[in-house]
Structure 1
């Protein structure tokens, strides 16, 4: 009898190492993203060999830095059950403030950076206060502040690019410097992503963020202060958005009220959804989001390299977002809106 039990248990136990390997890589969703990235690189590389040029690949890394930072922090917000549509506008206002503070202080880059980070804290805190104490849905609240922050950036800048920062060593380093052979903006993205990954995966704070997004009622009954966490998460989104704005200022050489940050929120949300974030909260990984960021960057660059109209990039992003949400809905097994069960 014992031999029979061992024999029947063996087939179930055998796949476990493979499942653990897949989990370590990031799950089946991440494997799909890796496969899609390989296909995109192979197709564009075959059409135009210049796509695979090391300089072009490095350019992709630098190009995705700003929206990659926003996508990483958007992942944290979504996991917590929220959504911040204003991250692009926050990056824009931080960019303008950093350049204007730099100019007003006679070229003090540290003041410019600190001013931008301060604006990020305030903008994120305003979002959090509206959501927590105004009891406004995060989508509606941040849709409103998307317009408000964009308007403020245009008002204080007169709708024009502000200052010139590329005569300063710090901004030159942020724009063109390298660390261990990698461009500084890419290093900043990697460091922020690692910090967010550690926070979510290895700390009680991260576990509580997942718990709030998964079931806020159960989290509240477990003694988690949901209001405090929501405020902290939206302030974090503001700070990282400000970092993105500082990188944007360094790359363009001036404060950009709108042009450099327009549409970044859509890219950030698309990357988070493609990376496996459940838009209802409680699920997602930083690794998946980073893979999606690289995929979107490769797709945008590839379309440019092969001479496709840049307007198709918006079509591709929208299509990918719809596809990601549809796949999530199918996997969850939830009833489709307006259709019979």
Structure 2
């Protein structure tokens, strides 16, 4: 807002800023999907890319942020944008020097830009800085096998500095700003928000967590025969305490049922391990649960906070579905009779039929998510 005022002499409307970052997030999201599928699932089609992008949009809470273009939407949308852009840049950073070389080459410019984007979360929504942990799973092979990070080699030292230095510099600037404004380098000013409850003296209870998880994930939509055919969800009455709740109509799985695919992780665990994605999945699922619990405890229940953890669940679900499709399609293209992929009569094999059915189910789930949202 300040740079816009300085450059133009006019005040920037909040809804314009929200719309800008919503579009920026949509572009950054599809960029992340392109890099993820290009590196780990190169056989997936353009149609799968489009469906994956829709899943990310439906699960990230971006629609509620745009529908209510308040100042609260800006930190979340900007962090979503910078996080997707940063992760995409890190995924794209790996390349090879030549066709005969097995040792990967890391593009320094992309390492730096990715680190800058991730570090900018400290100036937007600070909890998104946890996305920096994905560097350890994205560059796992480079760290452990090829020693391109954290080793006493010139190339390793340069790569490490390219990732760490931007985060340290931007982090120090954020700490200085916090100290100058709030008196502490680690005080980001969250408790100074003008809210409907006392955030400074907020109490915490373990008993609030199960109800928060239920509301954020599993609460179904309350359907009525009267327009608009939905009712606001009711707070759980069994909790003996205070749960802050804004108008809420259903949990994430009610709007984006595709995210339930994370429960199929045991089926594709070996495939994800071969692709070096098991750690990516585990970290994403862990962070999503952690952020969901923190939201329930600290700020209560609100559809706006889907933006904190929904995109992580969507990312995990996309990896599982892509691995599952790869697993089934690999069998569908085999011609080995004992495997059950081709029968003697020349009819369509069960595996190939299952492969087509899976695509139809995925399309139906995505369309239903779009319709519900």
Larger Rg: 2
Query: Whose helix fraction is larger, Structure 1's or Structure 2's?
Result: 1
If the length of structure 2 is used for normalisation, what is the TM-score? 0.26
If the length of structure 1 is used for normalisation, what is the TM-score? 0.27
